[in-house]
Structure 1
Amino acid sequence: MAGRILIGISGWRYGPWRGVFYPEKLPQHSELKYASRMLPTIEINGSFYSLQSPAYYAEWHDDTPEGFVFAVKGPKYITHLRRLNQVETPLANFFANGMFELKDKLGPILWQFPPQLSFQADRFEAFFAQLPHDTEAAAAIAARHDHRVAGRTSLVPDRKRPLRHAVEIRHPSFVDPAFVALLRRHRIALVVADTAGKWPLLEDLTAGFVYLRLHGDQELYASGYSDAALERWAARIRTWSEGGQVADARLASSRPAPRRAKRDIYCYFDNDVKVHAPYDAATLMRKLGLATPLAGKGQPVWPPGWQAPRIRTGSEGFGMRTKARP
């Protein structure tokens, strides 16, 4: 028995992808429709940079096929500016701002911490204790929103649904068994983040699911993954999905996670600068024997003639991101 495995990309609106991943002359408003027919899950990045609106979330829901899943990135206002301090109202605004419009397509919530934020047990205990684990609890928090989202709220979920949270760390102080124990106590996943060696890569299993972010094998946000690298990630994903832990896991804690019958997997490629992300995602899916959303429904998995761009180095490539990295 294995958990559900979803492989996708981080964001979908990138100028360099147009005419490469996206066909020439595809309208920008159709890019999500297009990407969601190729891959089964995408991270929403806009929610990290600013509050959105219920109309956007509803549109994203309607633009994607049945069974599609969105991960939602928590606001940097909470993680980077407030640094998790006095965030009751910002959390309420975030949950009030339209997330419930995703309905059955709402997946895990990602909280990415800045490289300068170190592990302080009391601070993180207080933050984790505030995170809701179902949509009813999130709605109770959302009801306490303030004027910043006035006129653009969605406060009532369609039904009670579970909520999952994952955290991505970027400071070496988190390589601490106390942090792993804290995550397990709150049922929060520690993101397995491959950052080309820039920040810690940990594989401690701390929740009933695993969340991966693959930012680049050799160059952060830019380099593609070799066939051998994707084979290694596929093997790890298979083991985790079957409830086990890989023998060579990179761990902060010597205490093993409880054995489970299965774990769901959410994996997102974030090496988008040179347009590798969607192709690496597709290749990893093939290695895992997974089909894209429209496979078997009379449409091709990938349009004929598509090829992944060759791996480039230095200043070559297809351009830069539309948003700066945090």
Structure 2
Amino acid sequence: MSETGAPEEPNTGPAGRRAAIRIGVSGWTYAPWRGHFYPKGLTQARELSYAARQFPALEINGTFYGLQRPEVFERWAQATPDDFVFAVKGSRFITHTKRLRDVRLPLANFLASGLLNLGAKLGPLLWQLPPTLRFDPALIADFLALLPKDTAAAAGLARQHDARVDGRAAVDIDTNRPLRHAMEIRHDSFRTPAFVDLLREHGVALVCADTVKWPRLMDLTADVAYCRLHGSTELYRSRYSDDDLSLWARRIAAWAEGRAAPDGDFAGAPARDHRRRDVFVFFDNTDKRHAPEDARRLMEMLGMRWEAGAEAAG
């Protein structure tokens, strides 16, 4: 493990030059991928195991739509290699229904739902805000202050869950680890230095979201950079050209090597430090089967070799 609590770099480049780079896809259960990305005849039960042998990280989407159960997280952990990492998408009940207001109890329920059972495979928690939510400094500050910074604090908050998860809560940890968070914004009012300053104060990453619809900001606000590539010209559908991916490869390499990106849109002042940052990149252009191929091509451009070892249990 690195000193930040993240797994060591999974064969991503010259030793000593880069922090960890993890590239994958958003979700893994897509019927159009069967017989294309997934080999013909592969059972659905083995799709996660297969995807985890192709990419060093995956983004869990199901947690956005509803509370999962501890045994589900345990099954996901068992189906993936030891050095694999999941990013976990936060509950839309917190972000979209409650709109970040009065969410201490819903957050406790979310944390108690089983994600702590991922252990060392638990990566960043992604908080995607709705397009209609405008920047409210006090609201955002309160929410960021509520987010636990390590798994011990997360377990403590999880123990405050209510009856919705009685009998199905998982609130124990094997050891204390740092817990990272990333926030994805979808309203242009967040394009302000005040928002960037809040993220830096709380050590929360600003998601660099590549879309044709919402702001794409590249401010570095934490010890991790988090990118979601939703489609180059058509949301969730269009592929990325070689030129597109080459530019993303240069940005990613810069962040991982402690350098400024060669270009970008920014809302705040430049980051004052030049530390190497772990980088998570997830392709979300899933509707036309482009995500896995684009992820593979980007890994090749970065010289990444993902060696997951023996086949994981399915």
User: Is it true that 1:285 corresponds to 2:295 in the alignment?
Assistant: no
The corresponding residue for 1:222 is: 237
Given candidates 210, 221, 226, the residue that maps to 1:211 is 226
- Would you say the 8 A contact 1:107–1:164 is kept in 2? yes
CA distance in 2, matches of 1:131, 1:145: 15
CA distance in 1, matches of 2:238, 2:58: 20
- Would you say the 8 A contact 2:251–2:262 is kept in 1? no
CA distance in 1, matches of 2:29, 2:301: 26
CA distance in 1, matches of 2:110, 2:181: 14
CA distance in 2, matches of 1:235, 1:247: 7
The corresponding residue for 2:166 is: 150
- Would you say the 8 A contact 1:118–1:173 is kept in 2? yes
CA distance in 2, matches of 1:106, 1:293: 19
- Would you say the 8 A contact 1:115–1:170 is kept in 2? yes
TM-score (norm 1): 0.89
- Would you say the 8 A contact 1:95–1:141 is kept in 2? yes
- Would you say the 8 A contact 2:250–2:262 is kept in 1? no
CA distance in 2, matches of 1:293, 1:263: 22
The corresponding residue for 2:8 is: none
- Would you say the 8 A contact 1:2–1:261 is kept in 2? no
List structure 1 runs of 4+ shifted beyond 6 angstroms.
none
User: By how many angstroms is 1:242 displaced?
Assistant: 1.0
SS at match of 1:181: helix
Describe how 1:192-203 pairs up with structure 2 within 5 A. Answer: 192-195=208-211, 197-203=212-218
The corresponding residue for 2:97 is: 81
CA distance in 2, matches of 1:29, 1:272: 19
The corresponding residue for 1:242 is: 257
Listed one character per residue, the Cα deviations across residues 247-268 of structure 1 (whole Å, up to 9, x for unaligned) are 4221011x21122331000000
Q: Which moved more, 1:113-122 or 1:150-159?
A: 150-159
User: By how many angstroms is 1:24 displaced?
Assistant: 1.5
CA distance in 1, matches of 2:56, 2:135: 33
Letter in 2 for 1:272: T
CA distance in 1, matches of 2:197, 2:307: 37
The corresponding residue for 2:3 is: none
Given candidates 45, 68, 76, the residue that maps to 1:52 is 68
User: By how many angstroms is 1:131 displaced?
Assistant: 0.2
- Would you say the 8 A contact 1:111–1:165 is kept in 2? yes
CA distance in 2, matches of 1:27, 1:246: 41
The corresponding residue for 2:147 is: 131
TM-score (norm 2): 0.92
For the aligned residue pairs, the C-alpha RMSD in angstroms reads 1.1
SS at match of 1:37: helix
Listed one character per residue, the Cα deviations across residues 159-216 of structure 1 (whole Å, up to 9, x for unaligned) are 1010000000000000011000000000000000001x20000000100110000000
Report the number of matched residues. Answer: 295
SS at match of 2:54: coil
User: By how many angstroms is 1:243 displaced?
Assistant: 1.3
Given candidates 269, 272, 275, the residue that maps to 1:258 is 272
Given candidates 288, 295, 299, the residue that maps to 1:274 is 288
User: By how many angstroms is 1:298 displaced?
Assistant: 8.6
User: Is it true that 1:30 corresponds to 2:57 in the alignment?
Assistant: no
Q: Calculate percent identity across the aligned residue pairs.
A: 53
Letter in 1 for 2:206: L
The corresponding residue for 2:57 is: 41
User: By how many angstroms is 1:25 displaced?
Assistant: 1.8
User: By how many angstroms is 1:293 displaced?
Assistant: 3.1
Letter in 1 for 2:303: G
- Would you say the 8 A contact 2:208–2:228 is kept in 1? yes
CA distance in 2, matches of 1:18, 1:129: 42
- Would you say the 8 A contact 1:8–1:268 is kept in 2? yes
- Would you say the 8 A contact 1:244–1:259 is kept in 2? no
Listed one character per residue, the Cα deviations across residues 97-121 of structure 1 (whole Å, up to 9, x for unaligned) are 1011101100000000000001000
Letter in 2 for 1:159: T
